Structure 1
C-alpha cells in the first residue's frame, strides 16, 4: 500500500531542515552585516539571502531532482572523485568547522554571559557536555524527525518570533551610513558573507538525511520523496529568510547600543538586553542553545551516516568519533575557527554551486561525463585563486579575471565552461576518454 506523509509530518520535516540550517553562523553573521551595511541594508541583505537561503533551497531541489542520494548527484563523476568531494564537504560541515562552531557559539552566547570568570576549563567542560548531548540525540537516526522537527524546533521558533516582533516594534537606534566594503559593493559583500553560513554544503547532505527521515515513515516512491523534500526545503528557506531579515534589521538599528562590537553575537546579546532587560539573556540563551544543538545533531548524524556507508565501521561508531572530534576542535576558539574556515569555503563553495548547476542542466548536456569533469575542474582551479587571495597570498597575476577583486573570479570562467558544454556533443569522445584515464 502506497504511503504518504500527513500535513503535520511535512511541516515537521520542514521544521527539522530549518532547525538543522539555523545554527551558529546563521545567528552571528546577519547582525554584524546589518550594522556594517547601514543605509545599504537592502542590497546587502539581498546578496546574503541569495547565498544563505536561496542557494540551500536550490540545492535541496537539486538533490531531490537527482534522486535524493550523493551517488545519483555525482553519477557522471569518477567514483573516487565524487567520494573525495563528499568526504571533504562532510569533514568541513562535520568535525572540522561547522559543528564545532555550533558548540562555540552556544557557549559564547548561551553560557559565558552567566559565568563570572570564564576560562578554558569552562569551555572544555561545556564542549564535552554539549556534544555528548548532540551524540545522544543523533544516536537513533529514525527518531530525528520526531525529536527535532516536532519537539525542539517549535520551542526555538516561538522564541525567534518573539524576538523578531520586538525588534520590528522597538528598534534601538537609527540606521546610519554604510561601512567598509558595504559602502561600494553591498550586494557582493552580502553574497560572500552568505558563504560563511556553510548552508549550501549542508543542504547537499541534509537533503539525504531528510530522505532517510521520509523513508522511515514508509514513503519510498522516488517522486513522492522528491515532492516532500522540496516542500521541506521551501518551508526551511522561508523560515531562514524571515530570521535573516529580522537579524539584519536588528543589526542595522543597533548602533545606539552596540556600536563597535566585534561580532554579531555580541550585538544580538546587547540588543536583547536592551529590549528585555537582564532576563532577556535567558531567552536568548535558550534560543541559541536550541539552534546550535539541533544543527550539531544534524551535522553529526549526516557525517556519521556518510562515513558508515563508505567504511566497514557502523553509524554509531562514527557518531562517537565525529562528536568527540567536534568537542576537541571547539576548544580552538570562535575567532580562530572562523578565520581558518574562510579560505576553505572560498575553495570549495564554487564546486558545490557548479555541481548544483550541472544537475539542473544535465538533460541538455550532450556529453554529461565530460561536462561534469571539465566544469568542476574549472570551478576548482579558479576557486583556489580566490581562496589564496582571501588567505593573503599574492595572486595579482590573475587580476585579469572578471570580478577577481570581488572574490568571485570563478563565476564567469565556470559559467562559460558550463555554456560551452551545452554544445559539446559526442564528437568529443576522445577527450572524454582522456578525462576518464
Structure 2
C-alpha cells in the first residue's frame, strides 16, 4: 500500500478535524487516574476513539455519498432524523467546547479579555475558513496539522525521557471499560461520519470523481489519521500516568494539561500549549461547521445560500454555547452521547461489514434493538439511575453502560441465520 504526498495531506487534514478540545484534554487525566493500569485504559480508549472512527472513514470510502447513506437501509425518515440529531449535537456541544477550551487555556492565562470576545473572534475566523471550504484540505493538511502533531509529540517525548517518578496504583476497577467510555467524550465516532463527508465533498470539488481512486485515497488518509491519533492518545495517557504522583487528586483536565506542559517544556510550555490548544480546537470547529453546512446544502438542492446560512448559525451557536466552561459542556454532553453514540457505532460497523450480511431487515433489526437497549443507559445519565438500576443489573454489561452491545450482536446473528434459512427454503 503506497502512501504519496496527497495521502498524507488528506490524512493530516482528517487528523486535525478529529483532534480537538476533548482529544487534547481527556487522555492525560485518564492516564493520571489509570496509574499503573494505563496500558489497559489505553486499549479501551483506542477502541472507541481510534478504531471505530477509522472504520467510520472506511465506511465513507465504501459509500462515497452523504451521511444520509449511513442509515438509509433503516429508512429514509430515520436516516434524516439521525443525521439531524448528529449535526445538532455537533454544533451545540463539541464545536462550542473548542472555543471554551481555547479561552480557558490559550487566551485567559495571557490576556484579560471576556469569553464573549474570544468566542466572537474565534468563530469569525472559523466562518472565514468554512466559506473557503475548497481550500480546507490543503490548509489543514499542509500547514496546521503538522504543527499540532509536532508540538504534542515534543511534550510526549520530553516527558518520556525526563520523568523518573514511580507510577501510583490505578483508581479504576474496570480500566478497559473506563477507557472505552471516556473515548465517547472525544466525539471521534460522530466526527468520523461528519468529517468523512467533508473529505469526500472536498475531493469532488477538486475534480476527483473516480470512485476506486477516491476509495483508496480516503482509506489511506484514514489510516494516516488513525496512526497519528494512536500515537498521540497513547503517549498522552502514558504522560498522565507518569505524573500521577506530582499533582493533587482533585486537579482538573485543563490544569493537568497545563501542569504537564510546564514540567516538560518549562515556562515556554505555556506558550506552546496555547498555540497547540488554539490550533487543535480551531481545526475541529472548522470540520464540524463545514460538515453541518454541507449537509444542509445537500438537503436544499445544493443551495449555496443554505450553506452560508447554516455556517453562520453554526458559528453564532458556537459563540453562545462557548460561554459555558469546559467541565459543564462535558457534563451536559453525557446524556446525548448515551443515545447517539451506540447508534453511530452500530451504523459504522454495519456499513463496513460485507453487504451480504447487512440486508435492510438486518439493518433495521440491529438498529432498533440498539436504540431500545441504550434507553436505560440514557435514563441513568439524566439522574434516574436508581429507577433503572434493577434493569441494568440484569442486562449483560449493563453496569458498564454497554447494555446495548450484546443484544445488538445477537440480533445481527439471529437475523442473518433466519435470512439464510429462508433463502435455502426458497
Q: Same fold (TM over 0.5)?
A: yes
Helix, strand or coil at the partner of 2:403: coil
Cα distance per residue 1:330-387 (max 9 Å; x no partner): 1122121111101110111110111122213352237x22222221111011112112
Does 1:199 pair with 2:191?
no
TM-score, length of structure 2 as denominator length:
0.93
Which one is further off, 244-253 or 17-26?
244-253
> Residues 192 and 425 of structure 1: is their aligned pair in 2 closer, same or farther, counting only changes over 3 Å?
same
Aligned to 1:103: 99
Whether the 8 Å contact between 2:68 and 2:83 is mirrored in structure 1 is no
Aligned mates of 2:70, 2:326 — CA distance in 1: 33
Question: Which runs of structure 1 show a deviation greater than 6 angstroms over 4 or more consecutive aligned residues?
Answer: 426-429
Q: Secondary structure at the match of 2:237?
A: helix
Alpha carbons of 1:389 and 1:428: their partners in 2 closer, same or farther (altered >3 Å)?
Answer: farther
Partner SS, residue 224 of structure 1: helix
- What does 1:58-77 align with in structure 2 at a 5 Å threshold? 58-77=55-74
Alpha-carbon separation, structure 2, partners of 1:68 and 1:387: 30
- For 1:413, the equivalent position in structure 2 comes to 407
Question: How far does residue 70 in structure 1 lie from its aligned partner after superposition?
Answer: 2.4
Aligned to 2:231: 242
Secondary structure class of the residue paired with 1:265: helix
C-alpha deviation, 1:225, in angstroms: 1.0
How far is the alpha carbon of 1:62 from its aligned partner?
1.4
* Higher mean displacement: 388-397 or 184-193: 388-397
The answer to whether the aligner puts 1:329 opposite 2:321 as a matched pair is yes
1:254 and 1:267 in contact (8 A); partners too: no
| CA displacement at 1:259 relative to structure 2 | 2.8
The separation in 2 between residues aligned to 1:349 and 1:8, in whole angstroms, is: 33
Matched, 1:258 2:250: no
Cα distance change, pair 16–277 in 1 and its aligned pair in 2 (3 A): same
Q: CA deviation at 1:6?
A: 8.8
Q: Do 1:164 and 1:246's aligned partners in 2 also have CA atoms closer than 8 Å?
A: yes
Q: 1:291 aligns with which of 274, 280, 300?
A: 280
Measure how far apart 1:264 and its partner are: 2.3
Please point out which of 16, 20, 31 is paired with 1:19. Answer: 16
**Given the alignment of the two structures, is residue 141 of structure 1 paired with residue 141 of structure 2, yes or no?**
no
Query: What residue number does 1:433 align with?
Result: none
Q: Does 1:127 align with 2:124?
A: no
Q: SS of 1:314's equivalent? A: helix
Say if 2:48 is the partner of 1:51.
Answer: yes
Aligned residue among 82, 85, 97 for 2:82: 85
Shift of 1:172: 6.5
Query: Quick one: distance in 1 between partners of 2:213 and 2:73?
Result: 24
Alpha-carbon shift at residue 34 of structure 1 (Å): 0.2
Q: Distance in 2 between matches of 1:287 and 1:42?
A: 25
Deviation at 1:218?
A: 2.3
CA contact (8 A) 1:257 1:271 kept: no
Q: Select between 285-294 and 261-270 the one with higher mean Cα deviation.
A: 261-270
2:151 to 150, 159, 176: 159
Partner of 1:302: 291
Distance in 1 (alpha carbons) for counterparts of 2:263 and 2:389: 46
SS at match of 2:418: coil
Which consecutive residues of structure 1, in runs of 5 or more, have no partner in the other structure?
Answer: 430-437
Equivalent position SS for 1:175:
coil
Which SS does the other structure have where 2:74 is aligned? Answer: coil
Q: In structure 2, what is the Cα distance between the partners aligned to 1:351 and 1:90?
A: 14
Match of 2:348 in 1: 356
- In the superposition, relative to structure 1, how do residues 315 and 172 fare at CA in structure 2: closer, same or farther (>3 Å)? farther
Show CA shifts across 1:376-424 (max 9, x none).
1110111121121222212023121101111111100111111112123
Pairing 1:395–2:388 present: yes
**Contact 2:52–2:348 (8 Å) recurs in 1:** no
Q: How far is the alpha carbon of 1:275 from its aligned partner?
A: 2.2
Q: Say which SS state the counterpart of residue 383 (structure 2) adopts.
A: coil
* Greater displacement, 409-418 / 75-84: 75-84
Distance (whole Å) between structure 2 residues aligned to residue 172 and residue 309 of structure 1? 54
Can you give the 5+ residue segments of structure 2 that lack an aligned partner in the other structure?
none
Q: Secondary structure of the residue that 2:251 maps to in structure 1?
A: coil
Q: TM-score, normalised by structure 1?
A: 0.91
Contact kept in structure 2, 1:167 and 1:250, CA below 8 Å: yes
Moved more, 350-359 or 214-223: 214-223
For 1:40 and 1:211, locate their aligned partners in 2 and report how far apart those are by CA, in whole Å: 39
- Mapped to 1, the partners of 2:46 and 2:253 lie a distance apart of 17
1:29-77 CA-to-partner distances (Å, cap 9, x unmatched) read: 1011000000111101110011111110011111212234324333312
